[in-house]
A and B are shown apart, each in its own frame.
Chain A
Amino acid sequence: MAQGAADALERAGFSRRNFIKGTGALIVSFSMGGALETLAAQGRPAVFGENAAPDSPLATEVDSWIAIGSDGIVTAYTGKEELGQGMSTAQTQLVAEELCVPLSRVKLIVADTSLTPDQGVTSGSQSHPANFNHSNLAGACATARQALVELGSKQLNIPADQLVAVDGTIRAKNDASKKVTYADLVAGKKFNLKVDASAKRKPASEWTVLGKPIGRPDMAAMATGTFEYVQNVRRPGMLHGMVVRPSSVGASLMNVDESSVAGMPGLVKVVVKKNFVGVVAEKPWQAIQIAKKLNLTWTPGPELPKQETFYDHLRTQKPVRDIMLVNSKDVDQKLSEAATVVKATYLHPYQMHGSVGSSCAVADVQADKVTMWSPTQGVWHQRATLAMLLGLKAENIRVIFTRGSGCYGINGADTVTYDAALLSQAVGKPVRVQLTRKDEMAWENYGFAFTIDERAGLDAQGNIIAWDHEAWSPVLGNRPVYTFPGNVITGFLAGFQPEEFKPRSPAPEPTSFTNNSNGIPSYVVGHVGGADHGAGKIKSERAQLHNVVSPFWTGPLRSPQRLQNTFAHESFMDEIAAHAKADPVEFRLRHLSETRMIDVVKAASVKANWDARPSPNPRAKSASGFATGRGISCVAYEGDNGFSAMVAELQVELATGKIEVKRLVVAIDAGPISNPDGLRNQSEGGALQGLSRALGEEVTWDDHNVTSIDWRTYHSLPLGFAVPKVEVVLLDRPDLPATGAGETAITVVAGAIANAIYDATGVRVRQVPFTPERIKAALAG
């Protein structure tokens, strides 16, 4: 961020805080009646089941979200960040639409603990559900518009129902000359109103800004190299830090030989705090040289579980947490009565976020005032845990979200923010840290590995009568939330423990339905608490998860658990369809009840001109040495937070096992579409990121260390691979609530690919990634 902009924000920050907290000089005050008083009494809403920071702007107050200046500029404050997914564009559209002002008159302030409400983290496909329905930002906008109309009514002496909000003014419907601007109505003053969940949102049929393919306002700056990422933040007197991570996983620091770097150019300080080691220098290249040269002695860490047998290892560990998601208690009996029982085990590796730009943060830690420029997904989480890490008061810490490289979940952003803070505190000056490629990749919170058993019983007609899902997955750490700096590597090295699970084994029976992990397949009724919540028809159902301790840090990676479970469910559904000699699309539709699921499956298969017949394809193998196939996969994301289905078409080179995907057709239902081009961009990117994860990505390790530490050892599909045609079909649902949209496409890719490989070759691959070696071995049978 440029100096000027940062200073302006800083000034805004202090005045903003006083503005929101201030009780004097309230000139505009609307009375909205009883329902709102009730809302007011509720106070601060829960964020992901946790309470928001106690001194954060109240989400129930319109003033926490919206301010109208004397220049007519509408400033909106949001906790949902722009991570590259287009969220700032969509939120700007929302504000412009609901408040009836041009896009150019909306200024969006994003995730800054001095300015914006605490909305937890920007993750989990929750930004649209949180801010585009009836509470939070959308609710505040609708309430503000309603209030402006009422205020205009008083000012113009015209009944509210004869007024309309147009272009930043309230004016008479039948006489455009009778009008008053928002600026004249409220400039610089507070609304002093509660967000009214019943305030009327503009119906989608009247949208002129939302629902349109508005381009990203940051696009030109990105394409011309002038956009300022957190990597570009420079502060006066700023120094550069590098960290030195342990020699192996679980190693402890024995000795630091500072003489090994004495006199090196630019050296400012070697910083040690328990097992955390870093160096500070005047210039970044000097810091890198010093970090390399610094002589440290570590204890040998514990031996890591062998990668070759890791999936079986997971089954044999004592679980730290068992979770029963659904249990009709008749599964074993139904399986014993079934005409056929089908069983299979699916394996998914640890994968990494692997941001293309390694994570970076800038910290300015003074004795009583801390300013952080951080790409974290949760600025309020950072503020609370930085206070613990630095031994300072949270209210003296300001965390300003500053965009970094795309993160796709908890990459190195949180840990590098701690790195910068610890080093800055040690030298009393601003410090910038950008991780090395290896430090980013070897120590991040990986996406979960999984071993998954699936069993199903079929009746004599080939219908599924029972489904049993049992999964094992390793966990360690997570997002830091408000109290666990030890959930990421730097906090742990500095002396904090990762959050411990209270052992819970065996799992208690479920009392409420949740399918956030997609552990429950789409094809069962999901009967919990006396009602059916699932997307399917199968009544006999059981789904359970066993978490065991991971040797590596873990955390959310785009579609966490959902992607792994869906790979298993959708591969298995295909296996059952093949047993029943049924067409995979028809077989899915036969077991689904949720119309939105049925619609995406139909939309994808129609667009792909689906070749309806059982798999494998009897005509797949050609004399050319290639076999071609098609596969389908679908998901009700988190049960009800978005729907997608994908058809993949590919060819397998039989001699090498190499897969070339020719076409991906994905149908997406995310509720009302805020920005069709943004949704397409997310879906195309999700489809290809999913393909990269399905075909090549896998964290690897030896006895003591992660060995996938750069782009030669961790295999991401480059721009130059034979990119398939990606076709996105959008199903608009203008009258339904907004759902997530960033993770639906990626979730269905591995299943669609595995099913197409089976269709082409008659060989079932049950382990991700589908490398040529694995396919070749499977073909050799």
Chain B
Amino acid sequence: MSLISLRVNGKTHSLDVDPTTPLLYVLSDDLGLTGPKFGCGLGQCGACTVLVKGQAVRSCITAVEAVQGIEITTLEGLGTPDKPHPIQKAFIDEQAAQCGYCLNGVILTAKAFLDKNPKATEKEIQEGMSRVLCRCFTHTRMLRAIEAAQRGMAR
């Protein structure tokens, strides 16, 4: 165990944890956050995604010591049910979920992608989402929501 300083959703936390612990467990169990989720523990599905300096990072395979002091944003740090971020609002408007478990990874991956590629084509967006899984297969609605968010960003 050692003292780790984490900056999550604008707040700084000082935690006594094993520095090799994957970030996901620290977020879920030490900080009690509900946005990032365990899906595979292998970095394959995207459910655990968080933004690290705006980049989509898979927290289940990222050791907590690697992101000390760096700004981390989770899905609940993006917006709230009353004041959702525009991309979250696009998903709500499109009713783009069934069980919703994958939404964390879908929304954060899309946000990081759109921030970097605001003019991406439909095909490029699909490629940008190529490592994210939704097993309810809400794909059509999710892609529609991402495109709606993209149009919103362009305005």
Main secondary structure of the interface of B (DSSP, over half): loop
Given contacts A223-B92, A229-B101, A434-B38, contact A718 B132 (CB under 8 A): yes
Task: Determine which residue in B44, B106, B131, B136 has the highest number of CB atoms from chain A within 10 A of its CB, and name it.
Answer: B136
B21-A285 in contact (CB<8A): yes
A369 vs B36: C-alpha distance in the bound complex, in angstroms?
Answer: 32
B40 adjacent to chain A (CB < 8 Å): yes
B76-A719 in contact (CB<8A): no
B104-A719 in contact (CB<8A): no
Q: Report how many residues on chain B are interfacial, defined by Cβ distance under 8 Å.
A: 63
A408 adjacent to chain B (CB < 8 Å): yes
A84-B100 in contact (CB<8A): yes
| Residues on the A chain within 8 Å of B104, using CB | 225
Given contacts A229-B37, A234-B32, contact A718 B133 (CB under 8 A): yes
B99-A405 in contact (CB<8A): yes
Contact partner of A224 (CB less than 8 A), chosen from B21, B80, B130, B132, is: B80
Q: B-facing mask of A345-359, CB < 8 A → 1, else 0?
A: 000000000111110
Q: A-facing mask of B87-101, CB < 8 A → 1, else 0?
A: 011011001011111
A619 adjacent to chain B (CB < 8 Å): no
Which A residues from 675 to 700 make CB contacts under 8 A with B?
677, 681-682, 684-689, 691-692
B121 adjacent to chain A (CB < 8 Å): no
Which B residues from 114 to 155 make CB contacts under 8 A with A?
123, 126-143
B45 adjacent to chain A (CB < 8 Å): yes
Contact partner of B132 (CB less than 8 A), chosen from A226, A285, A719, is: A719
Q: Give the nearest-CB partner of A684 in chain B.
A: B140
Interface 9-residue window, one of A27-35, A176-184, A330-338, A708-716: A708-716
Which B residues from 60 to 90 make CB contacts under 8 A with A?
74-76, 78-81, 84, 88-89
B81-A710 in contact (CB<8A): no
Q: Give the nearest-CB partner of B88 in chain A.
A: A223
| Residues on the B chain within 8 Å of A717, using CB | 137, 139
Given contacts A224-B76, A225-B35, A711-B44, contact A405 B143 (CB under 8 A): no
Contact partner of A684 (CB less than 8 A), chosen from B29, B91, B141, is: B141
| Residues on the B chain within 8 Å of A232, using CB | 28, 34
A723 vs B143: C-alpha distance in the bound complex, in angstroms?
Answer: 9
Given contacts A225-B76, A231-B37, A720-B131, contact A83 B95 (CB under 8 A): no
B54 adjacent to chain A (CB < 8 Å): no
Interface 9-residue window, one of A211-219, A475-483, A604-612: A211-219
Given contacts A223-B88, A228-B34, contact A357 B136 (CB under 8 A): no
Given contacts A285-B22, A406-B136, A689-B137, contact A357 B29 (CB under 8 A): no
A712-B25 in contact (CB<8A): no
A231 vs B47: C-alpha distance in the bound complex, in angstroms?
Answer: 12
A54 vs B4: C-alpha distance in the bound complex, in angstroms?
Answer: 54
A48 adjacent to chain B (CB < 8 Å): no
| Residues on the A chain within 8 Å of B21, using CB | 283, 285
Contact partner of A718 (CB less than 8 A), chosen from B78, B97, B130, B141, is: B130
A225-B44 in contact (CB<8A): no
| Residues on the A chain within 8 Å of B75, using CB | 223-225
Contact partner of B29 (CB less than 8 A), chosen from A219, A284, A356, A721, is: A284
B128-A711 in contact (CB<8A): no
Q: Give the nearest-CB partner of B83 in chain A.
A: A224
A356-B138 in contact (CB<8A): no
A719-B141 in contact (CB<8A): no
B74-A219 in contact (CB<8A): no
| Residues on the A chain within 8 Å of B84, using CB | 220, 223-224
B95-A216 in contact (CB<8A): yes
A681 vs B97: C-alpha distance in the bound complex, in angstroms?
Answer: 8
B6 adjacent to chain A (CB < 8 Å): no
Given contacts A234-B32, A354-B135, contact A719 B91 (CB under 8 A): no
A302 adjacent to chain B (CB < 8 Å): no
B81-A220 in contact (CB<8A): yes
Contact partner of B78 (CB less than 8 A), chosen from A224, A284, A685, A689, is: A224
Given contacts A356-B39, A710-B44, contact A681 B34 (CB under 8 A): no
Q: B-facing mask of A662-683, CB < 8 A → 1, else 0?
A: 0000000000000001000110
A354 vs B142: C-alpha distance in the bound complex, in angstroms?
Answer: 20
Q: Give the nearest-CB partner of A693 in chain B.
A: B137
Which A residues from 242 to 294 make CB contacts under 8 A with B?
265, 283-286
Q: How far is the CB of A131 from chain B (nearest CB, A)?
A: 19
A711-B40 in contact (CB<8A): yes
A656 adjacent to chain B (CB < 8 Å): no
Q: How far is the CB of B18 from chain A (nearest CB, A)?
A: 7
A220-B32 in contact (CB<8A): no
Q: How far is the CB of B149 from chain A (nearest CB, A)?
A: 11
Q: How far is the CB of A609 from chain B (nearest CB, A)?
A: 20
Q: How far is the CB of A22 from chain B (nearest CB, A)?
A: 37
Q: How far is the CB of B74 from chain A (nearest CB, A)?
A: 6
B101-A720 in contact (CB<8A): no
B112 adjacent to chain A (CB < 8 Å): no
B25-A710 in contact (CB<8A): no
Given contacts A224-B78, A718-B130, A719-B106, contact A358 B139 (CB under 8 A): no
Q: How far is the CB of B111 from chain A (nearest CB, A)?
A: 12
Contact partner of A723 (CB less than 8 A), chosen from B37, B47, B102, B140, is: B140
A229 vs B97: C-alpha distance in the bound complex, in angstroms?
Answer: 14
| Residues on the B chain within 8 Å of A689, using CB | 135-137
Contact partner of A711 (CB less than 8 A), chosen from B45, B100, B140, is: B45
B107 adjacent to chain A (CB < 8 Å): yes
Q: How far is the CB of B71 from chain A (nearest CB, A)?
A: 17
Contact partner of B92 (CB less than 8 A), chosen from A220, A285, A436, A687, is: A220
Q: Give the nearest-CB partner of A84 in chain B.
A: B99
Q: Give the nearest-CB partner of B25 in chain A.
A: A285
A564 vs B33: C-alpha distance in the bound complex, in angstroms?
Answer: 41
| Residues on the A chain within 8 Å of B33, using CB | 225
B42 adjacent to chain A (CB < 8 Å): yes
B56 adjacent to chain A (CB < 8 Å): no
Q: Give the nearest-CB partner of B80 in chain A.
A: A224
A227 vs B21: C-alpha distance in the bound complex, in angstroms?
Answer: 25
Contact partner of A222 (CB less than 8 A), chosen from B100, B126, B128, is: B100
A85 adjacent to chain B (CB < 8 Å): yes
| Residues on the A chain within 8 Å of B106, using CB | 719
| Residues on the A chain within 8 Å of B42, using CB | 437, 710-711
B138-A222 in contact (CB<8A): no
A403 adjacent to chain B (CB < 8 Å): yes
A231 vs B48: C-alpha distance in the bound complex, in angstroms?
Answer: 12
B102-A285 in contact (CB<8A): no
Q: How far is the CB of B66 from chain A (nearest CB, A)?
A: 15
A25 adjacent to chain B (CB < 8 Å): no
| Residues on the B chain within 8 Å of A222, using CB | 97, 100, 103
| Residues on the A chain within 8 Å of B129, using CB | 718-720
A356-B74 in contact (CB<8A): no
A367 adjacent to chain B (CB < 8 Å): no
| Residues on the B chain within 8 Å of A623, using CB | none
A726 adjacent to chain B (CB < 8 Å): yes
A531 adjacent to chain B (CB < 8 Å): no
A221 adjacent to chain B (CB < 8 Å): yes
Q: Give the nearest-CB partner of B20 in chain A.
A: A285
Q: How far is the CB of B38 from chain A (nearest CB, A)?
A: 6
Given contacts A224-B78, A224-B81, A719-B143, contact A358 B136 (CB under 8 A): no
A712-B44 in contact (CB<8A): yes
Task: Determine which residue in A215, A216, A406, A688 has the highest number of CB atoms from chain B within 10 A of its CB, and name it.
Answer: A406
Apart from the given pairs A689-B135, A719-B130, 10 other A-B contacts in the complex at a CB distance below 8 Å: A84-B97, A84-B136, A223-B89, A224-B84, A224-B88, A286-B18, A357-B38, A404-B101, A682-B98, A719-B139
The 6 tightest CB contacts between A and B, nearest first, are: A225-B35, A720-B130, A84-B99, A225-B75, A222-B100, A406-B99
A–B pairs, 18, beta carbons within 8 Å: A84-B97, A215-B92, A216-B95, A223-B100, A225-B75, A231-B37, A283-B29, A406-B99, A437-B39, A681-B95, A687-B137, A711-B44, A711-B45, A712-B44, A716-B135, A719-B126, A722-B123, A722-B126
